[in-house]
Each structure stands twice: as structure tokens, then as C-alpha cells.
Amino acid sequence: MKKASEIRALSDADMAKELEEAARELFNLRMQNATGQLANVDQISKARRSVARVKTIMNEKRAGQ
């Protein structure tokens, strides 16, 4: 999980890639939880926050342009 300052330093393409990776990780964690394979369910919350962090920064950049 990257800090907000690290995400802000990324280009738009890298930010989109970061969002895709975070969303994919969230999906995988949800599937593991559904099948009973996930030991630490707190990972889902962290992944969800990571997706939200990237989306927020992307929207901030769009609003600033």
C-alpha cells in the first residue's frame, strides 16, 4: 500500500495501473473470504481504502486541470 504522496507523484497512466492492481487485489481478497481461505479479514478493509485513496487522488487531479 502506497502513501498518498507516493501516488500523487505517479503519472496518470501509472495511477490507472495502480488502481487496477488495487481493485484486482480487493477482488481476490473477497473471493478468498467467500471460500473461507482468508485468515485476516482486515486485509479487505485495507485494500478497499487503497482503492479509495487512488480514486480520490485521480479525482483531485481531474478537478485541478
CATH label, 4-64, candidates 3.10.300.10, 3.40.50.300, 1.10.287.310, 2.40.128.20? 1.10.287.310
Predicted structure pTM score = 0.89
- The pLDDT score that the predictor gives to residue 65 is 73
Give the span between the Cα atoms of 25 and 49, in whole angstroms.
Answer: 12
CA distances from 65 to 10, 25, 58, 59, 62 (A): 16, 30, 11, 10, 5
pLDDT digits (tens, 9 = 90+) for 3-57: 999 999 999 999 999 999 999 999 999 999 999 999 999 999 999 999 999 999 9
- Domain boundaries of the chain, sorted by first residue: 4-64
